[in-house]
Structure 1
Amino acid sequence: MSNRWQVRPIIEKGHAIGGAAGCHTQCNIYCLATGLADDNATDMAFPDDFLFGAATAAYQVEDGKGESVWDYVVHNFPERVEDGTTADVTCDSYHKYKEDVAMLKELGVNFYRFSIAWTRIMPNGTADYINEAGVSYYRNLIKELKDNGIESMITLYHWDLPQQLADIGGWLEDSMIDIYAEYARTCFQLFGDDVKFWTTFNEIKEFCQLGYGEGGLPPLHYEPGIGEYKCTRVVLKAHAKAYRIYDEEFRATQNGMIGAIFDTHWFEPRTNSSEDVAAAEQGRQFSFGWFANPIVNGDYPEIMKTRIADRSAKEGFNQSRLPEFTEDEIGVHQRYLRLYRSQHCIEEPEIGDPSYSKDMAVSQYQSPDWEGSSISWLKVVPWGIRGLLNWVRETYNDPYVIVTENGYADDGVLDDDMRIHYYQSYISNVRLAMDDGVKVLAYTAWSLMDNYEWLNGYTKKFGLYNVDFNDPNRTWTPKKSMEYYKKVIATHCVIDNCTR
């Protein structure tokens, strides 16, 4: 077969994130907050040692660093961003980090999940040049958090690959494994004495499938049914190497936790038929098992291996489009989780051009009865997170889990009752999952403040704090949801009175 990659043509606005071939699942539904879902609210308190946090990502809130793949795309293809904006300044957290920590202190969180901008530490992408100003920034941020009683949860890679590394093939190249491992080692050396929570990669599925398969996200590599599998193999091997470096060189003295973050749909069978039940499980394995199974069990899910090998042969490939692992390549570690949406499923596509969605072969459907948000793919389906957490427990040997992102998008309104409704119902279902036996350690609200929402630009807002992007000082104002989440953190309870 010929090498079939190319830069994908400009895609329609609003279709850049989420949604693949097959049954189209995106639609805009706006709902009013009528009766804040007390029926979904539990009266069970969280354990006293349960941790609550808030999150951001470097590209979405910082400025003034080396060029990443996102910088390259938003500057050279502004039509791909919904409002044509850039993240050149965004929240200006580089200069206003003390104000960010003041927000966190007011909120009362136990930890702050943020990411390190690779290009701020290593502007060229490699360890031959370390930017001391960037190192000082993160050291100052970590110290400020620690001085205020807030732990740091650091994500090493939140999508912002240095452009110079993309120019040599990025996550398609095996050379990235050692390059990333050295970046990770450098971060452990520089910051690890004051960091107890590390995550290696954020949402591998998103940047591999949409960045190297479908081509809708940076670096715009279009190689469906091939590129996403190449990318995933390299990234999982890079994760495993970074994990082992931490385990062998740093854990004994730094005593931290390290894992990877997986995002996923929750696939619920449309009916109780055996066909729909099997299709839902197939969707889960292609969405979550694709990443979790190699790390926990050493290889891809059997359904992925079998289906992709079979379809590859019928498409004329000499070997499976899903690259194999050797037995010693992947190790075991903590799992991390992000969830926003739920799906229903069925169906088998005909043989044709390869694609991930055809390999998965389930028809994805979102009920029009589910409440919506200002982002078309984000539905309010709180029982989905409980179902997913229980499935992870049953499928992957009862791991400890941290929910690293969960949040609601709107237009930035201060009286954000729908966000309160969202948090109340989702946090309740996390607590119910814990009562089911799931070992959830922590919950993280996304996001601390309104920021640059990737290809949606500044049109969609997830923040607990409103940020005025028209003000050079980027002034911020707490939303109604901030007061609600603050109370949840203080009382460990989603309603006014809980049982203990």
Structure 2
Amino acid sequence: MYSSFGKLVFLALLQINLADNDYKINDKSFPDNFIFGAATAAYQIEGGWNEDGKGENIWDRFTHEYPQYILNEDTGDIACDSYHKYEEDVEKLTYLGVNHYRFSISWSRVLPNGFSDNINQKGIAYYKNLIAKLKANNIEPLVTLYHWDLPQTLQDYGGFHNDSFNQWFADYARVCFENFGKDIKYWITFNEPKYACTGYGTATFAPGVNMPGVGEYKCMHNLLKAHAAAYHVYQDEFKTDQNGKLAIANSISGCLPATNKTEDVEAANREMEFTLGWISNPLFYGDYPEIMKSRVAYRSELEGFTESRLPTFTEDEKAFIKGTSDYFAVNTYSTTFAAAASEPEIGAPSIASDCGVEVQYADDDHKFDGMTYLMEWVTEHYNKPAIIITENGLGLSSNSLEDEERIHFIKNSMSRFKDALDKGINVFGYTTWSLMDNFEWTQGYSKKFGLYHIDFNSPNRTRTAKASVEWYRNVIKTRCLLDKCES
């Protein structure tokens, strides 16, 4: 599966050698079947944190008990108040003309204590009403089951570290499939597993379990088994009638070698395997990348562990997980560059030391360089899956409605994805993050990703269109990034 990798890297390096200001925005129209959308997530926009029977989740607990880890001690208690204002949000989506809306279901709003023996019918009704409103306006729901807001009750039992987690998640997924599945074509089980598991490696991110280099691997191991369990529930019980598709949404930057030296090329590939491969290789091939298994085992032994910190799948688990991705969902915001590094000193374990490369984010002149390459890498490594961009956007600190910088970012990003499509890569959709300014986790409300400005000082949480609204609306209407496109 790696036969063309060297060629891909060589072509990527050629592209980097072209100055960014020489790049021309793609002037070809997006095809008629290409879908455009916008995204949000439950904890980041809904508010209503303790209303109508909703249970507490780990971000409710974390922001209330450890406010020092959140900028300005912000919380998602009210957020954009979308729990009460979802109809207005659908009106904004309808004005934009989007084909789909990506949102997440709050596990604890549907199952207050996390377990399927206690279903909150008011929570079910909220999402049914939202979905019905979307469908009435010809907007397809693209639904995420888990966007980081684990019910606190389940965390009290160990959360992702409990080996029963896969059953808990499968039961929750079944409730969602039963109640919403007839209206859903695309499901995402987990959003950005890497970051969902970050809170099991550091005290500064919910749920605040400080086990670096150990906790994240255990979390991911159970997350992947949980994804597979939900996938098989859908295939066995719902696929025939509902005919939807399931995937995980990966957060990944296209990582390019800092130079064309062999060691830097190898470093870039290793970084891709430790980020994207960690999650996707099991879904497509049944196991973690070989480079991960060998390096974590090697360093674990030197650190005095009796076995690798990276857990091992049984043969039955490999078979169960393999083939559980119907499409490929990508969240991507930038480009990184990797260079070979000396072997990190043996000491406190960490994923960064396990990977053992030097990684830097691209500067403004090269932030888009890896986006087409990322599409190529996914296509090359995972047998040409259908790809959808499920998040892409720009966070700004300004409240200005004249967000030309965001328009520039989205235009350039979409152009790189269109370049990939023109090369024959099966990119079938784009989703901008985000429909509106929202709670950005540890950054609170300081980062503004929205097409719509939210006045968080107003009890009404007034929504106001930024310049990017009209720009994106026109792109969707004309299927063109410029004033005029070739057909």
Tell me the TM-score normalized by structure 1: 0.89
Counterpart AA for 1:46: F
Q: Deviations over 1:122-180 (max 9, x none)?
A: 11111111111110000000000000000000000000001111111100111111011
Q: Does 1:355 align with 2:350?
A: yes
Counterpart AA for 1:399: P
Partner of 1:337: 330
Work out whether residues 69 and 205 of structure 2, in 8 Å CA contact, stay in contact via their aligned partners in 1.
Answer: no
Give the alignment partner of residue 364 of structure 2, picking from 365, 370, 389: 370
In the alignment, the residues of structure 2 paired with residue 342 and residue 466 of structure 1 have an alpha-carbon distance, to the nearest angstrom, of 27
Aligned ranges 1:26-37 → 2 under 5 Å:
none
Partner of 1:250: 238
Aligned ranges 1:69-468 → 2 under 5 Å:
69-208=58-197, 210-329=198-317, 330-332=321-323, 333=325, 334-345=327-338, 346-347=340-341, 348-367=343-362, 369-370=363-364, 381-410=367-396, 411-468=398-455
SS of corresponding position for 1:137: helix
Paired residues, number: 455
In the alignment, the residues of structure 2 paired with residue 238 and residue 146 of structure 1 have an alpha-carbon distance, to the nearest angstrom, of 29
Deviation of 1:217 (Å) = 1.1
**Unaligned segments of structure 2, at least 5 residues:** 1-19, 49-53
Counterpart AA for 2:356: A
Counterpart AA for 2:215: G
Partner of 1:45: 29
Deviation of 1:38 (Å) = 8.8
Work out whether residues 412 and 450 of structure 1, in 8 Å CA contact, stay in contact via their aligned partners in 2.
Answer: no
Deviation of 1:328 (Å) = 2.9
Counterpart AA for 2:358: S
Tell me the TM-score normalized by structure 2: 0.92
Deviation of 1:412 (Å) = 2.9
In the alignment, the residues of structure 1 paired with residue 295 and residue 253 of structure 2 have an alpha-carbon distance, to the nearest angstrom, of 20
Work out whether residues 270 and 276 of structure 1, in 8 Å CA contact, stay in contact via their aligned partners in 2.
Answer: yes
Work out whether residues 201 and 214 of structure 2, in 8 Å CA contact, stay in contact via their aligned partners in 1.
Answer: yes
Deviation of 1:364 (Å) = 1.1
Partner of 2:479: 492
Deviation of 1:383 (Å) = 2.2
Percent identity, aligned pairs only?
A: 50
In the alignment, the residues of structure 2 paired with residue 393 and residue 366 of structure 1 have an alpha-carbon distance, to the nearest angstrom, of 23
Deviation of 1:274 (Å) = 0.3
In the alignment, the residues of structure 1 paired with residue 193 and residue 389 of structure 2 have an alpha-carbon distance, to the nearest angstrom, of 16
Deviation of 1:471 (Å) = 1.1
Counterpart AA for 2:185: K
Deviation of 1:370 (Å) = 2.1
Deviation of 1:318 (Å) = 1.1
Work out whether residues 157 and 200 of structure 1, in 8 Å CA contact, stay in contact via their aligned partners in 2.
Answer: yes
In the alignment, the residues of structure 2 paired with residue 359 and residue 342 of structure 1 have an alpha-carbon distance, to the nearest angstrom, of 21
Partner of 2:6: none
Q: Deviations over 1:364-413 (max 9, x none)?
A: 1234x426xxxxxxxx7122211111111011111111110000011232
Counterpart AA for 2:28: M
Q: Deviations over 1:198-244 (max 9, x none)?
A: 00000000121x21123331011111111111000000000001011
In the alignment, the residues of structure 2 paired with residue 320 and residue 472 of structure 1 have an alpha-carbon distance, to the nearest angstrom, of 52
SS of corresponding position for 1:354: coil
Work out whether residues 452 and 469 of structure 2, in 8 Å CA contact, stay in contact via their aligned partners in 1.
Answer: yes
Give the alignment partner of residue 469 of structure 1, picking from 456, 470, 479: 456
Deviation of 1:196 (Å) = 0.9
Work out whether residues 230 and 323 of structure 1, in 8 Å CA contact, stay in contact via their aligned partners in 2.
Answer: yes
**Unaligned segments of structure 1, at least 5 residues:** 1-35, 372-379
Work out whether residues 277 and 288 of structure 2, in 8 Å CA contact, stay in contact via their aligned partners in 1.
Answer: yes
SS of corresponding position for 1:497: coil
CA RMSD of superposed structures (Å): 1.3
Work out whether residues 78 and 85 of structure 1, in 8 Å CA contact, stay in contact via their aligned partners in 2.
Answer: yes
Query: CA 1:38–1:155 in structure 2 vs 1: closer, same or farther (change >3 Å)?
Result: farther
In the alignment, the residues of structure 1 paired with residue 471 and residue 206 of structure 2 have an alpha-carbon distance, to the nearest angstrom, of 36
In the alignment, the residues of structure 1 paired with residue 23 and residue 255 of structure 2 have an alpha-carbon distance, to the nearest angstrom, of 23
In the alignment, the residues of structure 2 paired with residue 322 and residue 40 of structure 1 have an alpha-carbon distance, to the nearest angstrom, of 44
**Following superposition, which runs of at least 4 residues in structure 1 exceed 6 angstroms of deviation?**
none
Work out whether residues 207 and 217 of structure 1, in 8 Å CA contact, stay in contact via their aligned partners in 2.
Answer: no
Work out whether residues 253 and 371 of structure 2, in 8 Å CA contact, stay in contact via their aligned partners in 1.
Answer: no
